[in-house]
Amino acid sequence: MAVMQQELTLGEAADRLARALPGHRVEILQGRLVVTPPPDGSHALSLSWLVVEFHGAGAREAGARYVQGVGLWLPTLPQDFAIPDFSVVDEDFRDAHVTKNYYAPNVFRMVVEVTSSNWSDDLGPKVECYAQAGVPVYLIADRKHDEALLYTDPADGKYSDPVRYKRGQSVPVPESVGVSLELSVDTLLDGDD
C-alpha cells in the first residue's frame, strides 16, 4: 500500500489547526504557528468592558470601530498574521481587506492583548510584529506580571520602551486613537470594576 505525503504551507497548516481546535486562536507570527487557548472568564470580561468603554467614549462618532478577533495582516513574512484580542480600527476598515479575515495594518489605530498562558508571545513577537506593521498603539494587559504596558508611535519598525502602569493607575488612550479615555489597569487585568 502506497502512502501519500502532502506538504502543507504554513497557511494551510494554520487553517487545519483552526478547524481542528474550535475556540482556539491560530496565528502565524514571524513564520511560526501560534495557538492560543480559549479565553478564561476574566479575559473575556476585560474585552467586553473595553467595548463598553470605547462605546461610551464616542469611538463610533470619531470614525472608529472597535472589534474583537479580527485578523491583522502582518508584513513581517508572506503568511504572517495576528488576531488581536481587541482592536480600534477606522470605520471603513472592511475596505482594507487583504485575505480571509485579515485586514491591512494601516486601518488599525490600536490593538489590545490580554495575556493568557502564552503570554510571552504578546510580550515578544507581537511587540515586534505590530511595530513593523506600523500599528500606532499597542496596549498589553499583562496578567502574568500584573501590569499594563503601552507601546506607541513605532519608528523604523520598532517601538520605544513601553510606559508601564501598575494597579491603581489608569492608562490614558493616546489622542491618535481618536477618543479621550482612561482605562483602569485593575479592570484591564481582572475584567471587573
pLDDT confidence tier of residue 6, bands split at 50, 70 and 90: confident
Residue 82: which of 56, 46, 51, 118 has the closest Cα? 118
The cell 508601564 sits on which residue? 164
**Across the chain, what does the average pLDDT equal?**
94
Residue 119 has pLDDT above 80, yes or no: yes
Residue 117 has pLDDT above 90, yes or no: no
pLDDT confidence tier of residue 3, bands split at 50, 70 and 90: low
What is the edge-to-edge ordering of all strands in the sheet holding 86-90? 64-68, 86-90, 108-114, 137-142, 147-152, 163-165
Residue 183 has pLDDT above 80, yes or no: yes
Per residue in 134-153, pLDDT tens?
999 999 999 999 999 999 99
Query: Which pLDDT belongs to residue 100?
Result: 86
Query: Which pLDDT belongs to residue 118?
Result: 87
Residue 38: which of 143, 116, 142 has the closest Cα? 116
